[in-house]
Structure 1
Amino acid sequence: MNAKDLTLAYKVRHALDQSADNLPESTAKRLSSARKIALSRKKQESEQLAFAPHMASVGPSHSRHTFHFDNLTIWAGRMGVLIPLVFMVFGLLGLYRYEQREQLIETANIDAEVLTDDLPLSAYLDHGFNAFLANGTDDEN
């Protein structure tokens, strides 16, 4: 409530207090019984709120700074989605780096074999040589 609302509430309460003294006795008794009924209903509602865990933060006796079990379950539910997602992202990044490294090592091995071989580089560019290699491997089996 802001200051303007509080001022209005105090003025209304003051006006009601002043006019309460001028009420007839029968009206005062009816108002008193209505107040007792309202208070008894209010107490029943607040007792029901105390036993309802999902409504624990709604009750008047609870501060908004208190920690409730519901807050923990909401937090755990959110983390239950976020943590596996983070692990999945790091896992995929790790797999990507691993595959890149393996491809780099394989390419380096092929380059090393080509450079240390006795054949000239032009032999690898010849299409007939590729056919010879293909036929040569079939004959060995």
Structure 2
Amino acid sequence: MNIAFFLIPKNEVAYIKYESTMRQALEKMEYHRYTAVPLIDCDGRYVGTLTEGDLLWKIKNTPNFNFESTRKIWLNEVPLHKKNQAISINSEIEDIILKSIEQNFVPVVDDDNTFIGIIRRREIIDFCAKRIFASP
């Protein structure tokens, strides 16, 4: 089974442009109540996943930090502590199960590494549960 069946398309996903400020990221994450969001560059390519932890570490490690600083800190200055790899839209379900163990969602890209959406862990678990508990 191809993973496209599980895809939540980009136009339905909250993501952050890599060329944004820390303040913009905080506001979007707060609005959506997300703890992690995909980062997309100006060409639409997946760059990585920004987490609350990344933002907290940046705050902790920035001398004289105050909330106003968030308007001046660009996301390319925020180190990403987890390297969440995207998966190709041509991948099979088996390829994504292992990735979903470590991530709440798995970013999906096309052949040009353009971000096209995500697959949430919830849908993967649901798929696996139906397979395991299906009546023979």
Give the TM-score category using the shorter length.
under 0.3
Larger Rg: 1
Q: Which has the higher contact order (CA 8 A, sep 6+)?
A: 2
Higher strand proportion? 2
More helix by share: 1
- Give the TM-score of the pair, scaled to structure 1: 0.22
TM-score by length of 2: 0.23
